[in-house]
Amino acid sequence: MWMEEHIFIRRRLAIQQRVALFPQFPPESPSPAAPLFLQDPCVFDATSICAVGDGSTDDTDAFTSAWREACAVVSAVLLAPV
């Protein structure tokens, strides 16, 4: 009886140690990149590229330059002078 109990305790301890030493957790999967609609957009302001927006100045070149820069990134917002 004593020997059987001793063997049982040793087996239980061996199992507990094995579980404690080698936990079997699933491997972590890499976190997926945030979907495009959740990413912060790059903001391009045509007024920062010399657009005036006063109604009389020709802002075509500044607006076109800002447009091209905005088209070069995945998620962009183009601010045009009003």
DSSP string, the chain: -HHHHHHHHHHHHHHHHHHHHS--PPPPPPPPPPPGGGSPPEEEEGGGGT---SSSS--HHHHHHHHHHHHTSSSEEEE---
Q: Which carries the bigger pLDDT value, residue 27 or residue 46?
A: 46
Query: Is the pTM of the predicted complex or chain greater than 0.85?
Result: no
Q: Which carries the bigger pLDDT value, residue 14 or residue 5?
A: 5
Total domains in the fold of the chain: 1
**Is the separation of the CB atoms in 36 and 74 below 8 Å?**
yes
Average pLDDT score, the chain: 73
Mean pLDDT is highest, among 5-14, 38-47, 66-75, for 66-75
Q: Which carries the bigger pLDDT value, residue 14 or residue 19?
A: 14
Note down the domain range covering 19: 2-79
User: In the chain, what is the straight-line distance between the N-terminal and C-terminal CA atoms, in Å?
Assistant: 93
Mean pLDDT of the 62-82 span: 84
